[in-house]
Chain A
Amino acid sequence: MTWEVVIGLETHAQLSTASKIFSSASTAFGAAPNTQASAVDIALPGVLPVLNRGAVERAVRFGLAVGATINRKSVFARKNYFYPDLPKGYQISQYEIPVVQGGSIAIVSPTRSEIRIALTRAHLEEDAGKSLHERIASPGTAGHEMTGIDLNRAGMPLLEIVSEPDLRSAAEAIAYAKTLHALVRWIGICDGNMQEGSFRFDANVSVRRQGEAKLGTRCEIKNLNSFRFLQQAIDFEVRRQTELIEDGGTVVQETRLYDPDRAETRSMRSKEDAQDYRYFPDPDLPPLSIDEAWIERIRAGMPELPEAMRTRLVREYALPAPEAAMLVSQREMASYFERLVAAGVEPRLAGNWLLGEVSAALNKSEIDIADAPVSSASLAGMLKRIVDGTISGKLAKQVFEAMWAGEGDADAIIAARGLRQISDAGAIEKIVADVLAANAAIVAEYKAGKDKAYQSLVGKAMAASRGKANPIEVNAALKKMLG
């Protein structure tokens, strides 16, 4: 039996405003509990919400980036439920009329190449606080289990981005999640920091028999805060649902939680005991009105989008699509690339270096490309030395490492370390002659027809030049002298 997996993602992106969505309290991460909770955030009697226009602007940026409709009038609604970390007893969200409707995101699927994932909507809402279940003890006592409430997160601005159930595998879900993650950072609306909870997912997962038109019963897995957990949770859930059906059971619509320690999802609540949130328009907030002029101002400030840039990189520079996709995964990476090309570096060489050596060094140092110790100008300077034959590709790696370590620019390092490539035919022939003379046994093997022996002689010649011999010249000399 072949099963088709159907996934839709709800993504909560925390918007990068300095203050909260309905109060002036700071959104900075990591403050002591309840030090960033204003009268509005703790819902004192008589306080009222005032909408942060910066949050609206970011939602509009997103809408423009995904080609969605920006609703000229959208409505804030109250979602009513009781929980200690929800101070008002309701969450202000958007229900019937969200600010952003429709749109789509192109992703590179591992199995279906480039596909477009449709978005249902994106709406603005406030985050809830956090309940901390801990043993709290005063000095000298054993203490007891208590629940503490931290309302610093209450009122954080969120954009909830809802996709259609267009994803057909965990891999596609990850590709979509990563593309979206790159996009929100690219357009500067969210810092994308997943450790701090600034970007997290709810996954709606169902399975159906291949060819079946009707969707299977879905389960919603809540609050996945890393790509790895997203992957693992979907994998587990797909296995659970298919096994359940194959064993003659039926999937029950429910909300599930992923437990990363046990790598499994667990039932949280079923549809039957789903709450009635009693949504209604919030009478404290007039409908959100967005005029044409505001949208145009926001549009004028939009950067070239990753999707457009990826297509352009393929077209203008003949880069392979996967490489172009990787280059646009971060705006800083893409602009670093463009600066290299502008400095005269051949695009494919620039791409290879960025995605190879530079990315590896960034990962190793655990820093962002914006903080790379080697500027695009000095990297371009080094790459030129490969092209003009001053250094070999292999030596270039050494030079790059030294540059990364702060030893100066390429030319200085090449000079200081004597890394200049030896291309002089006479000099190389002398090295090769010495190698042949000292390795008569290997020469004999070569003459007996062993190809490996030839490679060994190349290696010895390179070693004799301490890596500086131009490999092309070495080959030419060897071929000539071995007859």
Chain B
Amino acid sequence: MSPPMITAPLTELSQALAAKRLSSVELVEGLLARIDRGNGRLNAFLTIDRERALDAARSADVQRSRGTAGPLTGIPIAHKDVLMTEGLKTTCGSRMLEKFIAPYSAFVVEQLASGGMVLMGKTNMDEFAMGSSNENSFFGPVTNPWNADYVAGGSSGGSAAAVAARLVPAATGTDTGGSIRQPAALSGVCGIKPTYGVCSRYGLVAFASSLDTPGVFGQTAADCAMLLTAMAGHDARDSTSLDRPGEDYARDIDAAVTSKPLAGLRIGLPREYAGEGTDAAVARAIETALAEFRRLGAVTVDISLPNVHLSVPVYYVIASAEASSNLSRFDGVRYGHRAASYSDLDDMYCKTRAEGFGAEVKRRILVGTYVLSHGYYDAYYLKAQQVRRLIADDFRRAYDDCDLIVGPTSPTAAFRLGEKSDDPVKMYLNDIFTIAGNLTGAPAMSIPCGFDERGLPIGLQIQGDHFAEARILNAAHRFQQVTDWHRRVPPEFAA
């Protein structure tokens, strides 16, 4: 048997390593070479941790030879630069933390490291995870692996592009309003945002605490299931982390296969998602995918989410409010950027923050400060929280009639660099289908389901009720067993 491709999906790499058809050192060296070749084009990596990755690969191979390796031992991963990685730069895509070396590691980083994964480096992102195109990074945008003139999506654009271009088999992301699912869709990979509280936020630099959710990117649903199983878990350092028994998210995937593996599955199609500025090519791809799900045994039912159209404004009130407070700690006093000269304390704050933050971050701090201020709190923040509950009620009722909700991840495929950067509202509307999942805290994932006429990938979003990760992943996996969209590699990175 010939040596496996180092660009194979994670599950296959795991088998190859276990069967010793591949060593971790070979894999890491090969992928470091791919990163060297591809990163100039993509700008997906902000930091490459070459030496330590090779050291980790060598010790993974030793573990393998001693028989103490786990299924993820020696497999490379990249972390979004919003997750703290001890001893490595953690910039959040911001000038504010341009030179900040993390003194500790995030919970999810520790979890995957203790599973034996090899940290390759840190990926580019919109500054403090605020954005849908990765154009808000202080370190420049990530370009779409399928076409350099297009955005990779955001905010976890670096992670999505790195997996899409097969520079790494897996990467972490964080999803506050769609920041895993939207770049997964625009770059053509799988990405899952689990239930809020399933993965600890400890060490995730907060953008909007009640919405921020760590998750993963992989080539396949099975890859994502394996990664999520390793990174989930209770963590006493995060008071919003859920204390519940661990789960094998691949349990349904690994179950015996029948000819109708999704028989009995009810897929809800929200009336409100029809139209909504969805591109024709996207709508066609979703229709085709739904036909595939029906062939697999699923039935589709019409459902209604009457308040879901309020998701975007509700989100921008709540997320901005929390961000305005969360980002107050970046004041130049203890760490991070501080203005070179200033006349007094207020001047130090003003200059430091004016220089350290980019335009979108400032915009959201301003919005957040406004909606929390005296006399406006009830009309904006409180009202948004009330509507947030109404939206959650909509979903709760919908799940009486269906098991999963399927639709497009994003109304369009990737847009051109610069196309929406002058129109924040247009940019915000890109997240119209993903935001509700953050407001409710329920899991959702995006998988590739086709291409538009320009050859740009289209993402299909599968949402489920709280803790329905295994069901979502299984539906995605069955779809991927009978389609090959997830196997397509951007031509520039195929070799």
Q: Is B329 engaged at the interface, CB distance under 8 Å to the other chain? A: yes
Contact of A45 with B84 in the complex, beta carbons under 8 Å = yes
What is the distance, in angstroms, from A43's C-beta to the closest C-beta of chain B? 4
Q: Which of B102, B210, B334 has the most CB of A within 10 A?
A: B334
Which of A39, A46, A285 meets B239, CB within 8 Å? A285
Contact of B237 with A278 in the complex, beta carbons under 8 Å = no
Q: Is A247 engaged at the interface, CB distance under 8 Å to the other chain? A: no
Which of B106, B240, B334 meets A46, CB within 8 Å? B106
In the assembly, what is the distance between CA of A418 and CA of B8, in Å? 103
Q: Is B296 engaged at the interface, CB distance under 8 Å to the other chain? A: no
Contact of A278 with B202 in the complex, beta carbons under 8 Å = no
A50-B237, A80-B372, A284-B209 known; A44 vs B377 contact (CB < 8 Å) = no
Which of A43, A46, A82 meets B84, CB within 8 Å? A46
Which of B104, B208, B239, B374 meets A50, CB within 8 Å? B239
Residues of A within 8 A of B106 (CB): 46
- Please tell me which stretch of A4-12, A86-94, A178-186, A236-244 contacts chain B, meaning at least 4 of its Cβ atoms lie within 8 angstroms of it: A86-94
Q: Is B331 engaged at the interface, CB distance under 8 Å to the other chain? A: yes
Residues of A within 8 A of B381 (CB): 280
Contact of B90 with A89 in the complex, beta carbons under 8 Å = no
In the assembly, what is the distance between CA of A50 and CA of B327, in Å? 19
Q: Is B325 engaged at the interface, CB distance under 8 Å to the other chain? A: yes
User: For chain B residues 211-256, which have a beta carbon within 8 Å of chain A?
Assistant: 236-240
Q: Is B333 engaged at the interface, CB distance under 8 Å to the other chain? A: yes
In the assembly, what is the distance between CA of A278 and CA of B380, in Å? 12
Q: Is B322 engaged at the interface, CB distance under 8 Å to the other chain? A: yes
Contact of B322 with A283 in the complex, beta carbons under 8 Å = yes
In the assembly, what is the distance between CA of A77 and CA of B43, in Å? 40
In the assembly, what is the distance between CA of A123 and CA of B107, in Å? 31
What is the distance, in angstroms, from B122's C-beta to the closest C-beta of chain A? 14
Residues of B within 8 A of A51 (CB): 239
What is the distance, in angstroms, from A465's C-beta to the closest C-beta of chain B? 75
Q: Is A149 engaged at the interface, CB distance under 8 Å to the other chain? A: yes
In the assembly, what is the distance between CA of A285 and CA of B209, in Å? 10
Contact of A46 with B205 in the complex, beta carbons under 8 Å = yes
Residues of B within 8 A of A216 (CB): none
Residues of B within 8 A of A49 (CB): 239
Residues of A within 8 A of B374 (CB): 276, 278
Q: Is A425 engaged at the interface, CB distance under 8 Å to the other chain? A: no
Residues of B within 8 A of A149 (CB): 333-334
In the assembly, what is the distance between CA of A51 and CA of B240, in Å? 12
In the assembly, what is the distance between CA of A285 and CA of B204, in Å? 16
Query: Who on chain B is nearest to A39 by CB?
Result: B104
Residues of B within 8 A of A84 (CB): 331, 333, 345
Q: Is A412 engaged at the interface, CB distance under 8 Å to the other chain? A: no
A50-B237, A88-B328, A283-B210 known; A45 vs B373 contact (CB < 8 Å) = no
A45-B90, A89-B329, A149-B333 known; A39 vs B103 contact (CB < 8 Å) = yes
Query: Who on chain B is nearest to A44 by CB?
Result: B103
User: For chain A residues 158-182, which have a beta carbon within 8 Å of chain B?
Assistant: none
What is the distance, in angstroms, from B387's C-beta to the closest C-beta of chain A? 16
In the assembly, what is the distance between CA of A90 and CA of B372, in Å? 13
A284-B209, A286-B239, A286-B240 known; A90 vs B202 contact (CB < 8 Å) = no
In the assembly, what is the distance between CA of A50 and CA of B238, in Å? 7
Query: Who on chain B is nearest to A90 by CB?
Result: B325
A82-B349, A84-B345 known; A44 vs B104 contact (CB < 8 Å) = yes
In the assembly, what is the distance between CA of A283 and CA of B334, in Å? 24
Summed over the interface, the residue pairs from A and B with CB atoms below 8 Å come to a total of 94
Which of B83, B209, B240, B335 meets A44, CB within 8 Å? B335
Q: How large is the interface on A (under 10, 10 to 19, 20 to 34, 35 or more residues)?
A: 20 to 34
Q: Is A78 engaged at the interface, CB distance under 8 Å to the other chain? A: yes
In the assembly, what is the distance between CA of A88 and CA of B331, in Å? 9
Contact of B329 with A88 in the complex, beta carbons under 8 Å = yes
A80-B372, A286-B240 known; A45 vs B205 contact (CB < 8 Å) = yes
Contact of B345 with A78 in the complex, beta carbons under 8 Å = no
Q: Which of A45, A78, A87, A280 has the most CB of B within 10 A?
A: A45
Q: Is B92 engaged at the interface, CB distance under 8 Å to the other chain? A: yes
User: For chain B residues 87-105, which have a beta carbon within 8 Å of chain A?
Assistant: 90, 92, 97, 100, 102-104
Residues of A within 8 A of B92 (CB): 45
Residues of B within 8 A of A42 (CB): 334
Contact of B103 with A89 in the complex, beta carbons under 8 Å = no
Contact of A46 with B203 in the complex, beta carbons under 8 Å = yes
In the assembly, what is the distance between CA of A47 and CA of B205, in Å? 8
Contact of B377 with A280 in the complex, beta carbons under 8 Å = yes
In the assembly, what is the distance between CA of A44 and CA of B374, in Å? 28
What is the distance, in angstroms, from A74's C-beta to the closest C-beta of chain B? 14
A87-B334, A278-B372 known; A48 vs B237 contact (CB < 8 Å) = yes
Query: Who on chain A is nearest to B329 by CB?
Result: A43
Contact of B325 with A89 in the complex, beta carbons under 8 Å = yes
Q: Which of A43, A276, A283 has the most CB of B within 10 A?
A: A283
Query: Who on chain A is nearest to B106 by CB?
Result: A46
Residues of A within 8 A of B327 (CB): 89
Which of B84, B203, B240, B334 meets A284, CB within 8 Å? B240
In the assembly, what is the distance between CA of A280 and CA of B210, in Å? 12
Residues of A within 8 A of B201 (CB): 46, 48
Query: Who on chain A is nearest to B205 by CB?
Result: A45
Residues of A within 8 A of B205 (CB): 45-46
Contact of B321 with A280 in the complex, beta carbons under 8 Å = yes
Query: Who on chain A is nearest to B348 by CB?
Result: A84
Q: Is B206 engaged at the interface, CB distance under 8 Å to the other chain? A: yes
In the assembly, what is the distance between CA of A356 and CA of B126, in Å? 73
Query: Who on chain B is nearest to A282 by CB?
Result: B209
Q: Which of B90, B104, B328, B331 has the most CB of A within 10 A?
A: B328
In the assembly, what is the distance between CA of A278 and CA of B210, in Å? 17
Contact of A45 with B372 in the complex, beta carbons under 8 Å = no
0/1 interface trace, chain B 432-454, chain A, CB 8 Å (1 if under): 00000000000000000000000
User: For chain B residues 318-342, which have a beta carbon within 8 Å of chain A?
Assistant: 321-322, 324-325, 327-331, 333-335
In the assembly, what is the distance between CA of A280 and CA of B202, in Å? 21
Which of A90, A278, A284 meets B369, CB within 8 Å? A278
What is the distance, in angstroms, from B409's C-beta to the closest C-beta of chain A? 25
Contact of B321 with A82 in the complex, beta carbons under 8 Å = no
What is the distance, in angstroms, from B153's C-beta to the closest C-beta of chain A? 23
Residues of A within 8 A of B331 (CB): 82, 84, 89
Q: Could you pull out 22 A-B pairs where Cβ atoms are within 8 angstroms?
A: A45-B84, A45-B100, A45-B329, A46-B83, A46-B205, A47-B237, A48-B202, A50-B239, A80-B325, A82-B328, A84-B331, A87-B333, A89-B327, A278-B325, A278-B373, A280-B325, A283-B209, A283-B210, A283-B240, A283-B322, A284-B206, A285-B239
Which 7 residue pairs are nearest across A and B when measured between Cβ atoms?
A89-B328, A283-B210, A278-B372, A283-B209, A45-B205, A46-B203, A43-B329
Binding site for B on A (CB under 8 A): 39, 42-51, 78, 80, 82, 84, 87-90, 149, 276, 278-280, 283-286
Beyond A278-B324, A283-B240, A285-B239, 9 additional pairs, beta carbon < 8 A: A44-B103, A45-B102, A45-B206, A80-B324, A88-B328, A89-B325, A149-B333, A284-B206, A284-B239
